[in-house]
Amino acid sequence: MDWRQTRVSSDTTHHTLHGQPIYEVRFVEVLKFHEPGLAPAQADDGAMHIDTSGRPAYSSRFLRTFGFYDGRAAVHADDGWFHILTDSRPAYAERHDWCGNFQDGWCPVREKAGQYHHIDRAGMALSSDRWAYAGDFRDGVAVVQAPDGRATHLDHRGTAVHGCWFVDLDVFHKGYARARDGHGWMHINRAGTPAYARRFAAVEPFYNGQARVERPDGTLEVIDEKGQTQIILPRAHPGGSHAD
């Protein structure tokens, strides 16, 4: 059976293949399968990972379990959050207040004191820097938020990608990142430079060279990578009825 073809059932209690259950047991909740073919599952006796037969992959139980990424899965246990290997052994000794998932070999975690940083698969910190918030790495770059609330991009060495700071920020997608300064939202390139002069109330990531945005007056439009309007979109009116 190819676990990559399975789906979570509509009631989230089991997995299906071509619309049919792949095992008989039912759980409180299951999540998607991830490499190497294990899925998080919540049962009456606790959380674990299961294989495609619905059997637990190990005897340990946790408060919550999440999917495997880079061979490690985040779990919540009585003594805190950490990552486990596929046999439920801890990947490192440290315990955290929260853990994300590994992406590009690094993972954001929150310390008991409330600060964020990134760790590698052995649990070692990327650097001695601590942040008000830290997000996932994507294509070698992650967003971090400083104690004063400003956000910037870091690389895998823990150094600034461009040295520019913003009110709010997203990861890069198709060469651009959503960013907000004191005047509104825009897109920036990897040098931290705005792609255009305009500012918006909201912007979506670029999709095949164009992005949906909202002007400060609420008008919706689609722009290109130079910020030029391609089309004006219809705008729903609050309190209006749904279309049949």
Instruction: Identify the structural domains of the chain with CATH numbers, from first to last.
Output: 1-95 (2.40.128.630)
> If DSSP codes are grouped into helix, strand and coil, which group holds residue 119?
strand
**pLDDT score for 238:** 74
| Nearest residue to 90 via CA among 51, 56, 60 | 60
- Burial level of 158, CB count in 10 A (0-12/13-18/19+)? middle
> If DSSP codes are grouped into helix, strand and coil, which group holds residue 16?
strand
Give the C-alpha separation, 63 to 45, whole Å.
Answer: 9
Give the C-alpha separation, 14 to 114, whole Å.
Answer: 35
Prediction pTM value: 0.90
Tens of pLDDT along 101-141? 999 999 999 999 999 999 999 999 999 999 999 999 999 99
pLDDT surpassing 90 at residue 1: no
C-alpha distance across the termini of the chain, in Å: 42
Contacts of 20 (CB under 8 A, 6+ apart): none
Tens of pLDDT along 66-81? 999 999 999 999 999 9
| Range in 49-63, 163-177, 227-241 the model is least confident about | 227-241
